[in-house]
């Protein structure tokens, strides 16, 4: 992060003088430039589950100028997380993929083992440090603003042991998936 301080002096002053901002706002200006802090906008889709894919939309800002001498199999970012759970970019992003400064870029990753949650935060660690997250763009809210989140992680069904059954019932069906360990399971077939 770089801070620039601009001082408008109306008279000459010695080198050891104490500067003080008084009077008009135009006399003192503090301009903050977050040149080397990457920025996360959002992920898409925002609702994730084990083994699903999501795309991180980000702006590396001027970070790419600082990152030099990466190993041939390294990315300029170290990791990205949804709710503290890592995204795997290995098969979806090449190590020689170029990211354009001051533009929206994307990286597609696969959700690994994840914690089921109705509200998950986003984070991305770069070689230069942690990215900021845009609250305005990263949060999605329903129409009455009662449910806002950056990301959600939900259970997923991978398979059902049988797709036919008896009218009289009594048949055992095995449902396989991920995220069923919450203890709040209500399974129904056709209501």
Residue 129 falls inside a structural domain: yes
pLDDT score recorded for residue 91: 86
Give the pLDDT confidence of 148-169 residue by residue, as tens digits.
Answer: 999 999 899 999 998 888 888 8
pLDDT band for position 31 (cuts 50, 70, 90): very low
102 lies in some domain: yes
The domain that contains 93 carries what CATH number?
2.60.40.10
> What are the tens digits of pLDDT across the range 67-92?
777 777 788 888 999 988 899 998 88
Q: Which residues of 166-185 are buried (b: 16+ CB within 10 A; e: fewer)?
A: eeeeeeeeeeeebbeeeeee
- The average pLDDT across 112-137 equals 88
Q: Which residue has the higher pLDDT, 11 or 182?
A: 182
Residue 107 pLDDT greater than 70, yes or no: yes
Q: In the structure, what pLDDT confidence band is assigned to residue 49 with cuts at 50, 70 and 90?
A: very high
Coil, strand or helix at 26: helix
- pLDDT: which is higher, 37 or 70: 37
User: What does the pLDDT read at residue 14?
Assistant: 57
Please name which of 133, 127, 130, 151 lies closest in space to residue 68, comparing C-alpha atoms: 127
Range of the domain at 79: 39-153
- Whether 93 and 137 map to the same domain: the answer is yes
**Is residue 161 included in any domain, yes or no?**
no
């Amino acid at each position: 992060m770089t801070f620039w301080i601009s001082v408008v002096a109306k008279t000459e002053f010695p080198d050891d003088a104490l500067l003080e901002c008084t009077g008009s706002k135009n006399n003192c200006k503090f301009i903050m430039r977050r040149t080397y802090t990457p920025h996360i906008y959002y992920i898409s889709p925002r609702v994730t589950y084990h083994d699903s894919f999501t795309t991180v939309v980000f702006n590396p800002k001027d970070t790419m100028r600082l990152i030099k001498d990466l190993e041939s199999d390294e990315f300029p970012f170290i990791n990205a997380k949804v709710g503290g759970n890592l995204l795997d970019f290995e098969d979806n992003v090449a190590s020689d993929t170029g990211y354009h400064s001051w533009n929206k870029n994307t990286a597609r990753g696969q959700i690994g083992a994840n914690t089921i949650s109705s509200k998950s935060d986003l984070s991305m660690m770069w070689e230069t440090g942690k990215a900021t997250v845009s609250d305005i763009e990263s949060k999605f809210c329903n129409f009455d603003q009662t449910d806002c989140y950056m990301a959600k992680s939900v259970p997923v069904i991978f398979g059902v042991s049988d797709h036919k059954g008896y009218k009289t019932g009594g048949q055992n069906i095995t449902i396989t998936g991920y995220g069923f360990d919450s203890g709040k399971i209500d399974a129904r077939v056709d209501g």
